[in-house]
Structure 1
Amino acid sequence: MGKFDDVLAFYQTPTTQFQLESFRKRVKDFFENNPAFNDHLSVVHSVKSRLKDVNHLEEKLVRKENEKGTQITTANLFNEITDLIGVRVLHLYFDQFGIIHNEIMKQIENGEWTLFEPPKAYTWDPDMSEEFEKLGINSNRKDSYTSVHYVIKPNPKENVFCCEIQVRTLFEEIWGEIDHSINYPVKTDSIACAEQLKVLSKLASTGTRLADSIFRSHNDHKKNES
Structure 2
Amino acid sequence: MNGKQREWVEAFRSQQDLYRSFGECMLQVLTELLSNRNIPINSITYRVKDVDALAEKLTRPGKDYESLTDVTDLLGLRVVTNFADDVDRVVRIIDRHLDVDPDHSEDKRPYDPHWFGYASVHRVCSLPKAMLERPEYARFAGLRCEIQVRSILQHAWAEIEHDLGYKVAGGIPNSLRRRFSMLAGLLELADDQFMLLRDELTLYSTRVVAQLQRNPEAVALDTISLETFIRNSPVVQKLDEEISEMRGRPLMGPTKAVLEARVEELTYLGVKNIKDLATALEASQELVRSLAHKIYRDDRRRGLPMSRGSCLSLLVQVLIGRLDSLEEVRTLLDRFNIGAPAARDERAILLKEMAQGLMV
Whether these two folds match at TM > 0.5 is: yes
**2:179 counterpart residue number:** 196
CA deviation after TM superposition for structure 1 residue 54, in Å: 1.6
Task: List aligned pairs for 1:163-182, cutoff 5 A.
Answer: 163-182=145-164
Letter in 2 for 1:48: T
CA distance in 2, matches of 1:170, 1:104: 19
5+ residue gaps, structure 2, are 133-140, 210-360
8 Å CA contact 1:115–1:153 kept in 2: the answer is: yes
Q: Is the 8 A contact 1:115 1:150 kept in 2?
A: yes
Q: How far apart are residue 185 of structure 1 and its match?
A: 7.2
Provide the rounded CA distance (Å) in 2 between the counterparts of 1:203 and 1:165.
Answer: 26
CA RMSD of aligned residues (A): 2.7
Whichever structure has more helix as a proportion of its residues is: 2
1:30 correspondence with 2:36: no
After TM superposition, list the pairs within 5 Å mapping 1:128-143 onto structure 2. Answer: none
Correspondence for 1:44 among 38, 41, 44: 41
Q: Which position in structure 2 is the counterpart of 1:67?
A: 62
- Aligned pair partner of 1:116 in 101, 111, 116: 101
Report how many residues are paired.
Answer: 194
Tell me if the contact between 1:179 and 1:197 (Cα under 8 Å) persists in the aligned partners.
no
Q: Quick check: 162-171 or 22-31, which moved more?
A: 22-31
Output the CA distance in 1 between the equivalents of 2:125 and 2:69.
Answer: 12
Does the residue aligned with 1:88 lie in a helix, a strand or coil? strand
Q: CA deviation at 1:5?
A: 2.4
For residues 142 and 166 of structure 2, what CA distance do their matches in structure 1 show? 27
Secondary structure of 2:18's counterpart equals helix
Q: Do the aligned residues in 2 keep the contact of 1:188 with 1:194 (CA within 8 Å)?
A: no
Q: Quick one: structure 1 residues 46 and 8, their matched pair in 2 at CA, closer, same or farther if it must change by over 3 Å?
A: same
Helix, strand or coil for the counterpart of 1:117?
coil
Give the distance between the partners of 1:99 and 1:83, measured in 2 at CA. Answer: 22
| Structure with a larger share of its residues in strand | 1
Higher RCO (Cα < 8 Å, 6 or more apart): 1
- Mapped partners of 2:171, 2:85: distance in 1: 36
3-state SS of paired residue (2:73): coil
Report the alpha carbon displacement of residue 207 of structure 1 after superposing the two structures with TM: 1.3
The SS at the match of 2:169 is coil
Give 1:187 shift: 2.8
Matches within 5 A, 1:54-93: 54-63=51-60, 66-68=61-63, 70=64, 72=65, 76-79=67-70, 81-93=71-83
Further displaced range: 166-175 or 197-206: 197-206
Q: CA deviation at 1:86?
A: 0.6
Paired residue secondary structure (1:67): coil
Aligned to 1:168, what secondary structure does the other structure show?
A: strand
- The answer (yes or no) to whether the contact 2:97–2:128 under 8 Å persists in 1 is no
Structure 1 runs (4+) greater than 6 angstroms displaced: none
Q: Who is 1:151 aligned against?
A: 124
Q: Deviations over 1:34-76 (max 9, x none)?
A: 43243xxx5211112101112221221111xx124x1x46xx1
Contiguous gaps of at least 5 residues in structure 1: 109-113, 128-140
Q: Which AA in structure 2 matches 1:151?
A: V
What is the deviation of 1:165?
Answer: 0.5
1:19 aligns with 2:5: no
Could you say which residue in structure 2 is the equivalent of 1:111? none
Contact 1:31-1:44 at 8 Å conserved across structures: no
- Do the aligned partners of 2:166 and 2:172 also contact (CA within 8 Å) in 1? no
User: CA, structure 1 residues 145+186, in 2 after alignment: closer, same or farther (shift >3 Å)?
Assistant: closer
Aligned mates of 1:148, 1:83 — CA distance in 2: 14
Q: How far did 1:28 drift?
A: 1.1
The whole-number CA distance in structure 2 between the counterparts of 1:19 and 1:61 is: 21
- The answer as to whether partners of 1:150 and 1:166 remain within 8 angstroms in 2 is yes
SS in 1 for 2:36: helix
Q: Which residue of 1 aligns with 2:144?
A: 162
